[in-house]
Structure 1
Amino acid sequence: MNQTLRVRVNRIERLADGIKRFTLKRSDGLDLPAFESGSHVVVHLDGGRIRNAYSLTSELGNLGHYQICVRREEASRGGSRLMHETLREGDELQIGLPANLFGLHPGEGKHVLIAGGIGITPFMTHIQALARRNASFELHYCFRNRGAAACLDTLSGLLGPDQLHLYESDEGTLLDVATLIAAQPGDAHVYVCGPQPLNDAVVAAARSAGWDSARIHYEQFRNEVDATGGAFDVTLSKSGMTLHVGPDDTLLRVIEKAGIKVDCMCREGICGTCETAIIDGLADHRDNYLSDDEKAAQKTIMLCVSRCLGPRLVLDL
């Protein structure tokens, strides 16, 4: 079972329309584990039935508490609604240890950070790390309006006008992604976190400009995917179990209900931690992690969102 920590909600603050910041302290009073910039923790809600990943936004090196920012998602599985509506200061939670799927490149080149909406959260620690390295960097922050934008005051205090670039769509100020990418030096790295259209636009612009994939970094904080579909059976070769996956259930949930522990950070087909080898059968891939070639090869499957194209799947579990 993944290691967890018990924490207490020390403070809840409203940062912007529909966005709250939660300050978490370890329940036993000890320091929390150290983390690198771009890291996240998985928050366990509703008795562990809902697990959502949130970027850490607190000060690097201050291990007396963690801070996360949560936007209330009307179409979510319920995690953000629970955080906003039922969680109170003094309540206890379980969280996973910090993990990082969006780290900074260690090189000396320029770092171009592009955030959309709540996608600003991983950059709150990245800008700290880059400042400590005396690195060349700039932040481009896209949002609908100032009332819905988190961390604006903090960013204005941390970054100079040559580093912080704001784009407020309600005021007609939009980021020209292609022009921004074209203006970068040959050693630059670009990082983007935001809605999928923004992520896609940045990745496409960088690839069109001839950038090597090693210089393109992105984190998708939400994968809008329908994980439901036709029923099928799954056989777990190592455990000898055969389980039925109903049309409204997922592989991951069925396997967990059977008592099989599987690592999965995002539960939305983004992080790749639940990747499992396929022994027999064809997967209906719905993740946003495997490449098109990897999906066509039918060697592995993401248990959290993908399904089976036929009546039966055999997995290496």
Structure 2
Amino acid sequence: MITGDQLQLRVAAIRDISPTLRLVRFENAGDGPLPPSATGAHLQVVLQGAQKEIRNAYSLISKPGSRDAYEIIVRRVPESRGGSAYIHEQLKTGDLLTTSWPGNLFAPQRSARKHIMVAGGIGITPFLSYVADFAGKGIDYELHLCCREEEKDSFAPWLPEPDKVFVHWDADGHRLDIPALLLRQPANSHLYVCGPDFLTNDVLEAAETGGWPDNHVHCERFGNALSGGEAFRAVLQRSGKEIEVGEHESLLEAIEREGVEVPCLCRGGACGVCLTSVLDGEPEHRDHYLGKAERAGGKHIMPCVSRAKSGLLVLDL
């Protein structure tokens, strides 16, 4: 069912593809085809937890343009803030969920001579739609997956051109040499990385050292930005509310818990949609949107991921 800016989807199938990886397939809960999704798109899924509503964004792995169903793969993580645990422990076939329309903040650059993708573990998911799009079109690309050795074959069913896929893990002879990879690429290649911070930072640093133009390097992050931190208070000046932000919830979740709406899209600090003015206090920036000067100025915050260095933030909300 399609209503305004939301979709009502039914869980059509659930399948475990490894002990920690679960595939979920969604279909329209009503009649008619789903909105088309572009390469690199994601879906924001609303999950009703026991204590709070959880909103997580997941990359769509289904073939771009498909309108019969959407598919995602979710890793079960021990430090889950709710979404991963819910999907692995509570979600079942036939459940109805509210989601956003497909959004896209990580589309491939069509003018690239070659596409170099580096994925860390579950960070491969946006690239599964890339390779589904590229397959059979003569597009030059390489996909490098850094993962646990026991998971090296988990994503094989979604890789239509295995000769363009290279898998690396933490063992002699199998580690990815990032500088060497970047050095051998032709001019006008574009580089994409998605994964945990340590891998993303290594790739970005190697690209900078290697002289790659900034507009040829693209990243999508996850992980530490959402790991919680010290509790703090936030005053929403226009709403007249003072709220407590717990150690294991984001500022955005605490604001939403009080019934105050904040525009948001990615919930990962990348899109800039939830940009909020800070009237007092010192933010702890964890986003990937604000520049160095904007962070230093301390006048804005991305509440989906960022927190407070001071014990109190006053926001223009």
Alignment partner of 1:177 is 2:178 = yes
Provide the C-alpha distance between the structure 1 equivalents of 2:143 and 2:234, rounded to a whole number of angstroms: 48
Change (3 A) 1:86 1:260: same
Q: Quick check: 2:15–2:22 contact (8 Å CA) kept in 1? A: yes
Q: Quick check: 2:225–2:306 contact (8 Å CA) kept in 1? A: no
Structure 1 residue ranges, 4+ long, deviating more than 4 angstroms after superposition: 309-312
TM-score computed with the length of structure 2 as normaliser:
0.89
Change (3 A) 1:295 1:212: same
Change (3 A) 1:225 1:41: closer
Q: Could you tell me which residue of structure 2 aligns to residue 3 of structure 1? A: 5
Q: Could you tell me which residue of structure 2 aligns to residue 32 of structure 1? A: 34
Q: How far off its partner does 1:250 sit?
A: 4.4
Q: Could you tell me which residue of structure 2 aligns to residue 90 of structure 1? A: 94
Provide the C-alpha distance between the structure 1 equivalents of 2:39 and 2:185, rounded to a whole number of angstroms: 23
> Any idea what SS the aligned residue of 2:224 has?
coil
Letter in 2 for 1:57: I
Task: Provide, for residues 90-121 of structure 1, a one-character-per-residue CA deviation record: whole Å limited to 9, x for no partner.
Answer: 11111111111111112142111111211111
Query: Comparing 298-307 with 266-275, which one deviates more in the overlay?
Result: 266-275
* Structure 2 residues without counterparts, runs of 5 or longer: none
Alignment partner of 1:66 is 2:65 = no
Provide the C-alpha distance between the structure 2 equivalents of 1:226 and 1:166, rounded to a whole number of angstroms: 28
Change (3 A) 1:137 1:80: same
1:44 paired residue among 18, 37, 46: 46
Give me the identity figure in percent.
Answer: 38
Provide the C-alpha distance between the structure 2 equivalents of 1:236 and 1:251, rounded to a whole number of angstroms: 15
Q: Could you tell me which residue of structure 1 aligns to residue 130 of structure 2? A: 126
Q: Quick check: 1:227–1:306 contact (8 Å CA) kept in 2? A: no
1:13 paired residue among 1, 10, 15: 15
* Structure 1 residues without counterparts, runs of 5 or longer: none
Query: Comparing 91-100 with 43-52, which one deviates more in the overlay?
Result: 43-52
Q: Quick check: 2:135–2:161 contact (8 Å CA) kept in 1? A: no
Cα RMSD (Å): 2.4
2:83 paired residue among 61, 79, 82: 79
Q: Could you tell me which residue of structure 1 aligns to residue 242 of structure 2? A: 243
Change (3 A) 1:36 1:229: same
> Any idea what SS the aligned residue of 2:207 has?
helix
Q: How far off its partner does 1:259 sit?
A: 2.2
> Any idea what SS the aligned residue of 1:181 has?
helix
What are the within-5 Å matches in structure 2 for residues 1-317 of structure 1? 3-46=5-48, 49-131=53-135, 134-147=138-151, 149-155=153-159, 158-161=160-163, 163-169=164-170, 172-229=173-230, 231-237=232-238, 239=239, 241-248=240-247, 250-310=250-310, 312-317=312-317
